Amino acid sequence: MLDPNLLRNEPEAVATGLARRHFKLDVSALTTLDQQRKSLQIQMEEQRNARNEASREIAQARRQGLDTTEMQNAAGQYGETIKALEQSLEVVLQQWEALVSSLPNIPQASVPDGRDEADNVPVRHWGTPREFSFTPKDHVDLGEALGILDFAAGVRLAGARFVVLRGLGARLERALTQFMLDLHVTAHDYTEIAPPFLANAESLFGTGQLPKFEEDLFALRDDPYYLIPTAEVPLTNLLRGEIVSTLPQRFCAYTPCFRREAGAYGRDTRGMIRQHQFDKVELVQVVRPQDSATALEELTGHAEKILQLLELPYRVMALCAGDMGFSAARTYDLEVWLPGQSQYREISSCSNFESFQARRLQLRYRGEDGKPQLAHTLNGSALAIGRTLVALLENHQQADGSVHIPEVLRPYLGGMEILRA
């Protein structure tokens, strides 16, 4: 959530910042609501002062032995007026809250301008896409031939955009998960968390999924819970409402993730790229404001390390203002090379939210002056496990349909070097 003082004092500056996202802020509605708030608060204060003065006059009249019936009746009107003003103020504040909650974060000045993914800017490349001596297959053909991916069973059990991993496919996914967690815990100093896979509305509001993106979530029919769309939700909410004594805080978790993909119908219907249920290892950092720019570079590097050790070519893209997520102030996407599609595809998104989430969460720390102030939050996928499995199959496939296992994964697969049917 944006700073209310900034919205009240510099609405035009906020509008200019949000215009970079191609988001139009209704400055008139914002200022009108704020003027109504101020007017109602002034009226309430005047009525309370008048009531207090009337109470003093009644008390003085009683001490003089005078009849105060009419004075008390008149004073009673103040209470009714104040109650009506309080109700009006509550309506205005609710309207203000609804408007402010719908506003995305303001992009940092360093974020490139642009409308969509076509305007994202390459930052760096790692590795060189492999040149094959044969026509490479995509992960669907590879996985079905190896007997490890069963898309027909996924449709039969649940519907479109689901898959069943069999045998070595399930084991390979488990190996990738364990490898990622081990690296982040031992080498990158994250605390591993095993969170719930359900979240309440307050948690989803805190990280920015609610109220704006409810249609993308799976909600339980008879209970006040949602299936989590990412471990970012429970990990960041671990510190909701707290004044944290020590920063930085670093958390990582493996969870399944659940998304309707409401805005993606017709896209990536083949294979595992866009699923309603997928597994992911997520990183979250909570830091001091002055450290968040450096923390974003560091966190992105932690995600990159996974790809490097798995020998998967990738590129880092700085997202343009129009392509960033709702809560982000700056985002890097990691895009891995997929030979089966002959293109780079997103496998991780690493974002600095500055104080946007922390304000919604009331997540604070004590500054050098001892006063509570908002922390900055960051998160990144490190990595999306299904897409990592896709990239591994396609990049390390052999002419006979087998798949080479990168050295770092072999200890998690009993020393296996080649995955065969």
Q: Is position 55 annotated in a ligand binding site?
A: no
Q: Is 387 a catalytic residue?
A: yes
Catalytic residue among 37, 274, 288, 315, which? 274
Which SS3 state, helix, strand or coil, does residue 151 take? helix
Catalytic residue among 20, 161, 250, 259, which? 259
Burial per residue of 159-171, b for 16 or more beta-carbon CB atoms within 10 angstroms, e otherwise? eebbbbbeebbeb
Q: Is position 260 annotated in a ligand binding site?
A: yes
Q: How far apart are CA 71 and CA 66, in angstroms?
A: 10
Q: Is position 231 annotated in a ligand binding site?
A: yes
Q: Is position 109 annotated in a ligand binding site?
A: no
Q: Is position 259 annotated in a ligand binding site?
A: yes
Q: Is position 417 annotated in a ligand binding site?
A: no
Tell me what percent of the chain is helix, strand and coil, each rounded to the nearest 5.
Answer: 45, 20, 35
Q: Could you tell me the CA-to-CA distances from 255 to 231, 280, 382 in Å, in that order? A: 6, 6, 12
Q: Is position 354 annotated in a ligand binding site?
A: no
- Alpha helices, DSSP H, located in 64-118: 69-101
Catalytic residue among 46, 173, 214, 346, which? 346
Q: Is position 347 annotated in a ligand binding site?
A: yes
Which SS3 state, helix, strand or coil, does residue 179 take? helix
Angle at 196 between CA 190 and CA 201, to 5 degrees: 110
What's the distance, CA 102 to chain centroid?
A: 15
Q: Is 166 a catalytic residue?
A: no
Q: Is 410 a catalytic residue?
A: no
Q: Is position 407 annotated in a ligand binding site?
A: no
* Closest C-alpha among 108, 93, 40, 77 to residue 289: 108
Q: Is 8 a catalytic residue?
A: no
Catalytic residue among 21, 250, 364, 387, which? 387
Is the bond leading into 30 cis (omega within 30 degrees of zero)? no
What does the chain come to in residues? 421
Angle at 35 between CA 33 and CA 37, to 5 degrees: 70
Q: Is 349 a catalytic residue?
A: yes
Q: Is position 381 annotated in a ligand binding site?
A: yes
Catalytic residue among 203, 292, 327, 349, which? 349
**Whether the Cβ atoms of residue 161 and residue 276 lie closer than 8 Å to each other:** yes
Rounded to 10 degrees, the C-alpha dihedral 141/143/145/146 comes to 160
Annotated binding residues for L-serine: 230-232, 282, 381
Which residues are the active-site residues? 259, 274, 346, 349, 387
Annotated binding residues: 230-232, 259-261, 282, 346-349, 381
Annotated binding residues for ATP: 259-261, 346-349
